Structure 1
């Protein structure tokens, strides 16, 4: 699916597939440099991070393992509820491991702040964060993010793993929806 397939549902393309791919290449190079010779575990946050995790991991030259965690603070709407629940926990013991949380987007930071604290309590060597998108103006708590793909405005975005009511995750770009899609 591309932008033309969305018809009037798409307001604009914020980041093209090419921009995303270029930035992931740059992020992977930094991660490879920072974790050279270290035992790195990528922790993807389901479901949104699937695309970022897959594409970022394929660009890495560092030996990695992957695990997934599902936490929820979103309903089917466009705002974070602030209440965090673990829907699927990790299968991997974090003790002594270098953990890199891979996120699709950081909005308020509430969920991620909770997640970092939770993972740090499990005895890892380190916990860092990589995200494709960050909305600095939407932050409600300070979260130290080591690898940021793009800072974006506080708009509701879809594509590249991000959804609205479970739709649009598969788009190869990041875009904004026309208001009639989510206000009706």
Structure 2
């Protein structure tokens, strides 16, 4: 499959201006909520890397970052339901105010796994910032404290989310029919 730089024809179309406006709003909210606390933002790779970078810039306060990676999809469009930790954190979480930054909360399985895993490391607080949420697909209810957009059940790509490992570099989010 080759990368497509044209929007798809599905029900989800979030343009670059909409993304940036919402990320800036979330950054402002996080800046207010974590003023003076030096939060630790953990990016869930690979899909959240653009959202994470833009969110960190939008916050404009002292903070630290780290990265972890899970796998439950491989190259498929549907989660296998089995979560594997592919890359672990580089820094301790004990006593830190942690914000887990995710691209999309779909079934809730991966988020449930990550929240349990990270809670065991003793953070002072643990919140979730997700760019997208598909509540119609939830198998496990999980908290999303900072949410960009709620979307219908559609396969989405762009702005960090991939389509067969391609199209992460699109500056917008789109979907296929």
Per the TM superposition, whether the score is higher than 0.5 is: yes
Q: Distance in 1 between matches of 2:72 and 2:94?
A: 26
Displacement of 1:39? 2.5
> What is the CA–CA distance in structure 2 between the aligned matches of 1:118 and 1:86, rounded to whole Å?
10
Contact 1:77 1:164 in 2 (8 A): no
Aligned residues: 173
In the alignment, what sits opposite 1:181?
none
Does residue 151 of the first structure (1) align with residue 150 of the second (2)? yes
Which residue number corresponds to residue 17 of structure 1? 16
Deviation at 1:95, TM superposition (A): 0.3
How well do the aligned residues superpose, as a CA RMSD in angstroms?
Answer: 1.3
Answer yes or no: is the 8 Å Cα contact 1:130–1:148 preserved in 2: yes
Render the CA deviation track for 1:73-117: whole Å, top value 9, x for unaligned: 112111111111111100110000010000111110100110011
Q: Which whole-Å CA distance do the structure 1 matches of 2:38 and 2:52 have between them? A: 17
Name the counterpart of 2:34: 35
How big is the shift at 1:154? 0.5
Residue equivalent to 1:130: 129
Q: Paired residue for 1:176? A: 175
Q: Does the CA contact (< 8 Å) of 2:45 and 2:70 recur in 1? A: yes
Greater helix fraction, Structure 1 or Structure 2: 1
| TM-score normalized with structure 2 length | 0.94
Instruction: Give the ranges of 4+ consecutive aligned residues of structure 1 lying more than 2 Å apart after TM superposition.
Output: none
Shift in Å at residue 164 of structure 1? 1.4
Pair 5,82 (structure 1): closer, same or farther in 2 beyond 3 Å: closer
Secondary structure of the corresponding residue to residue 83 of structure 1: coil
C-alpha displacement of 1:141: 0.6
Give the C-alpha shift of residue 177 in structure 1: 2.5
Distance 2:54 2:171 in 1: 11
Distance 2:46 2:152 in 1: 22
How do 1:1-184 and structure 2 match up within 5 A? Answer: 5-6=5-6, 10-12=8-10, 14-178=13-177
Query: Secondary structure of the residue that 1:57 maps to in structure 2?
Result: helix
Structure 1 unaligned blocks of 5 or more: 179-184
By percentage of residues, which structure has more strand? 1
SS of residue paired to 1:105: strand
TM-score normalised by the chain length of structure 1: 0.90
